[in-house]
Amino acid sequence: MPLHRRGSEVETMVLHHKVRVFVFRYEEQQPHFLLLRHQPRLESRLGPVHGTVGMGEQLQEAVLREVTEETGLQHPSHLIDLEHFERLCFGDEGVVEWEFGYQTLGHGSVIVPGPQVAETIWANFDRAFRSLEFSQDREALIRLQMRLRA
């Protein structure tokens, strides 16, 4: 929790950590990405799994927990830290979002949507990219795609 001095007063910034996770699987040697739409359906856009890092929880633990809670998937075949984060500040509060890729097995991956999930779709890169409204999500998807091609 960083402290900022302004004149003689000390301000405390509260920092929240979140994870943004692109679940993917290979179909015909190409990655397909799982996109979710949360409840309420009409107010939500398609995007990756995302959630808050709990107190004392490691980032990887939060990724595994959030993916399981939102999709029912467990035990990734690969967990990829994209080594990138977005920092957002709102007054005296800040949010740091950490980006990950989560590879699951092929067609045997049965999605069991959590109670807050209204819709799930698997999409190839082009469709996934076009379906994402937020630039941070599109940029994270590009980073993951580049990592997978390397």
The domain segmentation of the chain, as residue ranges, is: 14-149
Tens digit of each residue's pLDDT (9 = 90 or more) over 41-76: 888 899 999 999 999 999 999 999 999 999 999 999
Three-state SS letters, the chain: CCEEEECCEEEECEEEEEEEEEEEEEECCEEEEEEEEECCHHHCCCECEEEECCCCCCHHHHHHHHHHHHHCCCCCCEEEEEEEEEEEEECCEEEEEEEEEEECCCCCCCCCCCCCEEEEEEEEHHHHHHHCCCHHHHHHHHHHHHHHHC
φ/ψ of residue 100, rounded to 5: -140, 155
Tens digit of each residue's pLDDT (9 = 90 or more) over 15-27: 899 999 999 999 9
Tens digit of each residue's pLDDT (9 = 90 or more) over 69-105: 999 999 999 999 999 988 988 888 899 999 999 999 8
Q: Report the 10 Å Cβ neighbour count for 84.
A: 15
CATH topology of domain 14-149: Nucleoside Triphosphate Pyrophosphohydrolase (3.90.79)
- Answer for the pair 114, 70: CB distance below 8 angstroms, yes or no: yes
What's the whole-model pTM score?
0.87
